[in-house]
Amino acid sequence: MRSILRYVVRIYPRQWRDRYQRELHALLEDIPPTWRTVFDVTKGAIAMQIHSGSLLSIGGVLLGVTLLAGLLISQTGRADYRSEAVILPDWPRLNAEAASVLSRDSLANIILHNNLYKEDRAKASLEDLALRLRSSVLLIATPAGDSSRGPLRIRVSDRDPAQAQRASAAIAQRFVNANAASLIEQANLPVRPDRPPFGIALRIALAIGVLAGILFAVVQAFHIWKPVALLGLAGAVLGAAAASALPRSFDGLSVVSCRTTDPAAVRNLIALTTAPEELTALVQRFHLFPGDSRPEQRLVQSLNIHPYPRPRGNPATRTGNGSYDITIQFRYSDQNTAQLVTEAIGARLTEADNQQRAGIASEMVAPVFVHAATQAPRGSIGLIAGLVLGIVSGGLLGYRRSLA
Amino acid sequence: MTRNNDPALLVLASLADGDKHGYAMIEDIERFYGARLGPGTLYGAITRLEESGWIAPVQSDDRRQPYTLTALGRKSLEAELVKLNELIRTASRRLKQA
């Protein structure tokens, strides 16, 4: 308890301690150490910090800076414009057409026909831009009594409001042209960007300001600026370096639907598609796992093909009870390869030759999505984690030194 | 400047009969007032009183630092006691009348 009291005395302002610390320590040696004493000394230290003005001035400046930052972020930060078109789908048909309308070829076609991403087309491939467009499209089903029978909102977010409108209008039109839906509302031209609300930005800034004020007051009270700053910086650099050095991986995801009630037939189809000669062909075609002595084995480890029964049938394929969905998941270090391999496996599952041998019909119902796998560290996460670890270890080290 | 329940007034009252260090003040205040000041509270009061020039440290070889009441502190304590006496008289009179 006495050691805790010695630590607490260090919360007093430096100037105060120069004058009174020795005699306060003498007094604390004379009285029995209790939690009440610890509380009283802590209260006195905080009161003296406020009295000396250091805590208030630091907290005030930080609060002002963060409030200003919050204001700037909420007003000038990156803001996307959202355009929405509303369609009334023929749901089974829409489910069947979704893969085709949102496929890379279809989106690339939309980009070219509507002159989207004009400036970016010189810098990025059409495939990349199609992927970018896919990631900016959100399909939002609106329940209307029966949850699956409501209208569907097609929302596209973009920095350019006119571009967002053209894209959402074009995608809606594709569904209409495929007789999968009728148009209810034309895509709107957004007037205001979708910025984070001012109030939320201010509240976040306020919380950050108060926390930073407390942190800085503690740092100042213990005079641990140097270790905190140095180790914080070193931690941030090391964290960012570690995050960028660690290999990243991407998941390709797609779904194939089978018109059968026979699980053995589905398993047979999967077995045909993942036969050793098929895997070898995939490895050779996409040059998978170069430098690995057993690339086929690595492919099997990175590939997850799993059938799921759909007892209520699949509206996309108009099958009755007992159809199957096969999910394909392939993890790879290169984003494009992850997508291409997933797509190739999906195509193989739906090829007539394989279907004939398995005795069932199947078709792809979901386009290939690719996203960074969960274990892939992002640069910013590494940087922040390193910074926090550096500050904490710097604080502890400086604190120990200041006690010594 | 002080309130009647202010630790600063208790410190001034404690030093009125002679110099004392922190621990002696805590014991003395507990004896005549019935309240035990914590070390943080006591040194908060000592800091403010010394800044105002009402008390001053006394030269000592002891590790415990004694304090003395200055002339200004004595006058301020007297003025504060006059106010307190007036408060007590008024409150007592009104209680009797009620």
Q: Supply the pLDDT for residue B22.
A: 93
Q: Which residues contact A380 (CB under 8 A, 6 or more apart)?
A: none
Compute the CA torsion angle A280, A284, A289, A293 (nearest 10 deg). Answer: 60
The mean pLDDT of chain A is 78
Judged by CB atoms closer than 8 Å, whether chains meet at A28 and B39 is answered as yes
Of the candidates A26, A36, A48, which has its C-beta nearest B38's C-beta? A36
- Measured between alpha carbons, how far is A381 from A378 in angstroms, rounded to an integer? 5
Report DSSP state, residue B89. Answer: H
Of residues A233 and B31, the one with the higher pLDDT is B31
Across residues A25-41, what is the average pLDDT?
90
Asked if A47 is an interface residue toward chain B (Cβ–Cβ < 8 A), one would say: yes
Across residues B72-93, what is the average pLDDT?
93
Of the candidates B38, B40, B65, which has its C-beta nearest A23's C-beta? B65
Q: Which residues contact A148 (CB under 8 A, 6 or more apart)?
A: A91, A141
Kindly report the number of other CB atoms within 10 A of residue A391's CB atom: 20
% of chain A beyond a pLDDT of 90 = 10
Of residues A314 and A383, the one with the higher pLDDT is A383
CA A296 and chain centroid, separation:
31
Question: Residue with structure tokens 């208030």?
Answer: A56
Using CB atoms and an 8 Å cut-off, which of residues 29-58 of chain B contact chain A?
38-44, 46-47
ipTM at complex level: 0.89
Task: Please state whether A55 falls in left (phi above 0), alpha (psi between -120 and 50) or beta.
Answer: alpha
Q: What pLDDT, in 10s, does the model give residues A156-215?
A: 888 888 999 999 999 999 999 988 888 888 898 888 777 656 666 667 777 777 777 677
Written as six digits, the tokens of A285 are 């075609």
- Measured between alpha carbons, how far is B26 from B5 in angstroms, rounded to an integer? 15
- Tell me which chain A residue has its CA closest to the CA of residue B44: A44
CA B56 and chain centroid, separation:
13
Judged by CB atoms closer than 8 Å, whether chains meet at A26 and B63 is answered as yes
Across residues A14-19, what is the average pLDDT?
89
**Does the pLDDT of residue A153 top 80, yes or no?**
yes
Asked if A23 is an interface residue toward chain B (Cβ–Cβ < 8 A), one would say: yes
B83, containing H or E segment: helix B71-97
Q: Supply the pLDDT for residue A60.
A: 66
Q: Report how far apart, in Å, the C-alpha atoms of A169 and of each of A154, A185, A233, A264, A289 are.
A: 8, 10, 48, 44, 41
Q: Is residue A361 classed exposed, middle or buried when 0-12, 13-18 and 19+ CB atoms within 10 A define those classes? A: middle
Task: Please state whether B80 falls in left (phi above 0), alpha (psi between -120 and 50) or beta.
Answer: alpha
- Measured between alpha carbons, how far is A163 from A190 in angstroms, rounded to an integer? 10
Using CB atoms and an 8 Å cut-off, which of residues 8-27 of chain B contact chain A?
21-23, 26
Q: What pLDDT, in 10s, does the model give residues B51-72?
A: 999 999 998 888 889 999 999 9
Give residue A323's pLDDT band: very low, low, confident or very high (50, 70, 90).
confident
Q: Report how far apart, in Å, the C-alpha atoms of A278 and of each of A64, A263, A284, A296 are.
A: 63, 22, 10, 10
Task: Please state whether A158 falls in left (phi above 0), alpha (psi between -120 and 50) or beta.
Answer: beta
Across residues A262-266, what is the average pLDDT?
84
Q: B35 to chain A, minimum CA–CA distance in Å?
A: 14
Q: Which of A54-68, A190-204, B66-80 has the lowest mean pLDDT?
A: A54-68
Q: Supply the pLDDT for residue B49.
A: 94
List the Cα angle A147/A151/A152 in 5-degree steps.
100
Report DSSP state, residue A121. Answer: G
Asked if A20 is an interface residue toward chain B (Cβ–Cβ < 8 A), one would say: yes
Judged by CB atoms closer than 8 Å, whether chains meet at B22 and A24 is answered as yes
